[in-house]
Amino acid sequence: MREIHHRVKNNLQMINSMVRLQSRYINATNAENSLKEVERRIQTMALLHEKMYQSDNLVAINIKEYITNVIEDLLSIYKAEKNINYRLDIADINYKTETILYQGLLINELITNTLKHAFKNRTKGHIAIKLHNKNANQYILKITNDGETLDINNFNTSKSLGHRLIKNFVKQLNGSLEISNNPKTSFTIKFDEF
């Protein structure tokens, strides 16, 4: 019970921080979208808790099931406007809940960013998510889309909340982020499980 209390307390503090950050970006024209983004982040965290409580192992959760649920939830939001397909190539890995939480939030931000910007002027598209061991405790997460290519320089210098959160979640994973556009836009995150 102490462990569950500790995790819930930490997650509530994280939600509080994300809401505080989001509030700095809210104005009259984007208030509804900002609240929906906060809602999606909270849903990603709630999904982790749901998986944790359904699991026999409260310490480690299967990442493939979790990522599948996160991407299906995100795509369901846009399904009326866009036909986006996805493919998962994910090893059968059980991560500690801290690792999976930051991965889930990172994937949520990257997919949301892709749906909003890469497929902004398109009704069809494809997203691929690949996650495998590089070696013992090192992993590579790669998210690729066939939408409009990303202005990498703009992404790296952007002060938007989404971009700041992506960089922060990569940092929380003690990872590195590499972005490429040849020919499709790919985000490659190398990280160690902590």
Contacts of 45 (CB under 8 A, 6+ apart): 11, 14, 15, 101, 104, 105
- Per-residue pLDDT of the chain (194 residues), as tens digits, is 455 545 555 666 666 666 666 666 666 566 667 667 767 777 776 666 676 666 665 556 778 888 888 888 888 877 767 889 999 999 888 888 778 888 888 998 899 889 888 998 888 999 999 999 888 788 999 999 999 999 999 988 988 878 888 998 899 899 999 999 988 999 999 998 76
- CA atoms of 21 and 47, how far apart (whole Å): 22
Q: Which residues pair with 176 in a beta bridge?
A: 190
Q: What is residue 67's predicted lDDT score, i.e. its pLDDT?
A: 87
DSSP 104-152: HHHHHHHHHHIIIIITTT-SEEEEEEEEEEEETTEEEEEEEE-SSPP-H
Nearest to 110 by CA among 183, 62, 26, 169: 169
Q: Is 155 helix (H, G, I), strand (E, B) or coil?
A: helix
Helices (H), 24-119: 31-54, 63-78, 97-113
Question: Locate tokens 């922060």: which residue?
Answer: 168
The radius of gyration of the chain's CA atoms, rounded to the nearest angstrom, is: 16
What is the CATH architecture of 2-192?
A: 2-Layer Sandwich (3.30)
pTM: 0.76
Contacts of 183 (CB under 8 A, 6+ apart): none
Q: Contact at 8 Å (CB) between 149 and 185?
A: yes
Q: Which residues pair with 131 in a beta bridge?
A: 90, 141
- CA atoms of 8 and 15, how far apart (whole Å): 10
Domain ranges of the chain: 2-192
